[in-house]
Structure 1
Amino acid sequence: MSTAPIAGDPETGFDRTLLFTVPDRDARGRLVRLGPVLETVLAAHAYPMAIRNLLAEALVLAAILGSLLKDPEGQLTLQVQNSEGVVDLLVCDYRGGELRGYARHDRARLDELGPNPSLHALFGQGFLAVTFDLASTGQRYQGIVPLEGDTLASACESYFLQSEQVPTLIRVSVDCTGPHAVAGGLLIQHLPEGEEGRERLHARLDHPEWDHLAIMGGSVRRDELLNPGLSLESLAWRLFHEEREVRVDHGPPLVRGCRCTADYYRQVLTRFGVDEQREMLDEDGLVKIDCAFCSRQFLIDLDL
């Protein structure tokens, strides 16, 4: 395995993404394992176990897909919304290593589903929206796919195949039952004509190189993704040790990234007209704003 020198960085355990490529197979991949960051996000609300597991999976996917951004100031957003679902809103985003997420649900209806509800039971006929916002160019790319399959990961695979025409394998494992929540994930993609341009449109699921990659990546075990004693570098080596060369690099450290501040909300409110701002005031002359991501309330004085 060929490893790019990363001075001073230990092998990757929690809350960092490992980027890797397999040059001879025209493949790129990502490995991530969330620990303290995951616990911080989940602690913002008293989520029941089914929602904790769902949000943990979504956060892993946001970290993996966000790490594909070449724009360091760009943002990746995953969102599932269905007004009639037991979970009527799930949203996670990633920007420069910052992760945040929130799930809104009907607790009474959730309790009726039992301890291990299916994805369809939680969302009904929902759709997954994947949005890439590129700060450097101001461009936005969005793909929307039906929420089919048993997991959010399988829906993301469908997104890449349908919207990007890139054969993609994604595996995610979650364990929120113990004293510490842990979640890990693997993404592998086949890019036979490189990452740039649209020449890759002809990429095939039956390509011999992709068949090999899918078998190797698909062999990853749940315990390997979750075990903090197994570094992500060691896991990449286990999966692809027969390859002539595997190049690895580190993404930025992952942190809980709720960007809510009183100054930020005050700036947003100034975009409204004075009459609209007055309508927002409570009896104390303040605007009350609740941040769903971090479960904090902000009292904004607009000095009107």
Structure 2
Amino acid sequence: MTAYQTLDLALGFTIPDRHARGRFVRVGPALDKVLGAHGYPPAIERLMAEALVLAALLGSMLKHDAGQLTLQAQAEGGAVELMVADYKDGQVRGYIRHDPDRIAEMPADPSLFALFGKGYLAITFDQSVTGERYQGIVPLEGGSLGDAAEAYFSQSEQLPSLVRLASCRLPDGRHVAGGLLIQHLPEGEEGRDRIHTRLDHPEWEHVRALAQTLKSEELTDGELPLETILWRLFNEDEVRIFPAVALARGCRCDPAHIRSVITRFPPEERGEMADERGEIHVDCEFCAQRFSFALDSI
């Protein structure tokens, strides 16, 4: 065992002299809990793993507690109908609605286009303190979810960014997934050009070139501390590391809240919801739990 906790973590850092910031995420047990509730085929498992990592990479950068980051991908013509993953207060959850028959006909590692067809990725930031809600939408294009995220930052945030996502299934059946997000920031003082308005970014090109040497195996190696990866990549520069954020699988479905929602419907509509035994059933797609309520108890 290493001296570091290496799984279910988000680790932020900056490289001040290069005007860059970044974040690593690696999930293990939290990922197993999400996948264990659904029984997805391997291709969908990998997609769900990368979506959870991406949600954690983006969500753990929120400035205030209780904020939420939601990824939602909807598609036309692909085997995946809907993908949702979100992050709030260190907790991640997600689910994917797909066509099992079409997935079974695909190769072991289908392309993003094969999975989604013509699709779009919506990234929504809900800021708890200010109440602001911001959403950016980009086409699901490129070879991976990471490519789509890079397009989002380029178009919506106008920040040069690099995103790397990786996942694997270990021989014992456990899953590990990891990711890196690194960005070039505007150059400080008010009145100076934003970085995207300039024609050359030598600091960013240096950081990007080093980050591109990162291997998928390093991201998914549960015995390799994230701090060690940082040293391997950027040992020529000063790197400042922030306190790590612990990650966990968490679903916010609550029986009391669900009951309160049901009570808002008129009695006749509640009667239509009930089955022949007089029970209303509500399924949570995130955690695959069913909540049942007797009609005469509401």
Q: TM-score, normalised by structure 1?
A: 0.91
> Cα offset for 1:203?
4.9
RMSD: 2.2
For residue 242 of structure 2, give the secondary structure of its aligned residue in structure 1.
Answer: strand
Deviations 1:170-221 (A, max 9, x none): 1111102532111111110011235999974745573111111101111111
> Cα offset for 1:294?
1.1
Counterparts of 1:60 and 1:22, CA distance in 2: 22
Counterparts of 1:272 and 1:163, CA distance in 2: 39
Counterparts of 2:100 and 2:76, CA distance in 1: 14
- Which residue is 2:224 aligned to? 230
Q: Check if 1:90 corresponds to 2:83.
A: yes
Identity %: 54
Structure-2 change in CA distance of 1:300 and 1:195 (3 Å): farther
Counterparts of 1:204 and 1:44, CA distance in 2: 48
- Which residue is 2:278 aligned to? 285
Q: Is the 8 A contact 1:16 1:250 kept in 2?
A: no
Q: How many residues in Structure 1 have an aligned counterpart in Structure 2?
A: 294
Equivalent residue in structure 1 for 2:171, among 167, 178, 189: 178
Letter in 2 for 1:240: F
- Which residue is 2:234 aligned to? 240
Structure-2 change in CA distance of 1:209 and 1:203 (3 Å): farther
- Which residue is 2:185 aligned to? 191
Unmatched segments (≥5 aa) in structure 2:
none
- Which residue is 1:155 aligned to? 148
Unmatched segments (≥5 aa) in structure 1:
1-9
Q: How does 1:1-304 map to 2 (within 5 A)?
A: 11-176=4-169, 178-179=171-172, 180-194=174-188, 200=194, 202-204=196-198, 206-243=200-237, 245-301=238-294, 303-304=297-298
Counterparts of 1:293 and 1:196, CA distance in 2: 44
Structure-2 change in CA distance of 1:201 and 1:279 (3 Å): farther
For residue 126 of structure 1, give the secondary structure of its aligned residue in structure 2.
Answer: strand
Structure-2 change in CA distance of 1:205 and 1:142 (3 Å): farther
Structure-2 change in CA distance of 1:23 and 1:51 (3 Å): same
Counterparts of 1:72 and 1:238, CA distance in 2: 31
Counterparts of 2:88 and 2:177, CA distance in 1: 19
Structure-2 change in CA distance of 1:153 and 1:237 (3 Å): same
Q: TM-score, normalised by structure 2?
A: 0.92
Counterparts of 1:72 and 1:159, CA distance in 2: 23
> Cα offset for 1:238?
1.1
Letter in 2 for 1:103: I
For residue 243 of structure 2, give the secondary structure of its aligned residue in structure 1.
Answer: strand
Deviations 1:105-160 (A, max 9, x none): 11111111122211100100101100001111221100000001000010000001
> Cα offset for 1:58?
0.6
